[in-house]
Amino acid sequence: PLFQFTEAISFAVNCDTQDEIDELWEKLSAGGEPGQCGWLKDQFGLSWQIVPSVLPELVSDPDPVVAGRVMQEMMQMTKLDIARLQSAAAGESY
């Protein structure tokens, strides 16, 4: 194509359930490329971030230790996993 997509244009989708995340991730990444921290490129090269609705609350926890654990866990993921993020917030290993 004459014009290529870049990360300057992207879509973020907030998902309430892991099933929503899993379904969108599977469909949008088919023929595309998964990235870190919930980012992916679809088959056309358009960037998406599939975000659990609970994530902003977890990463902005008033306790910086809790927020830090969540961020550290998220940085290890491609597709975001709500249960893992909540476990990290609670100080539990998943």
Give one DSSP letter per residue of 45-68, joined into a string: S-EEEEEETTHHHHHT-SSHHHHH
| Domains along the sequence of the chain with CATH | 10-89 (3.10.180.10)
Six-digit token string for 74: 């998220």
Distance CA 91, CA 20 (A): 25
Backbone dihedral region of 70: left (phi > 0), alpha (psi from -120 to 50 degrees) or beta? alpha
* pTM of the predicted model as reported, rounded to 2 decimal places: 0.90
pLDDT digits (tens, 9 = 90+) for 7-36: 889 999 999 999 999 999 999 999 999 999
Helix (H/G/I), strand (E/B), else coil: 29: helix
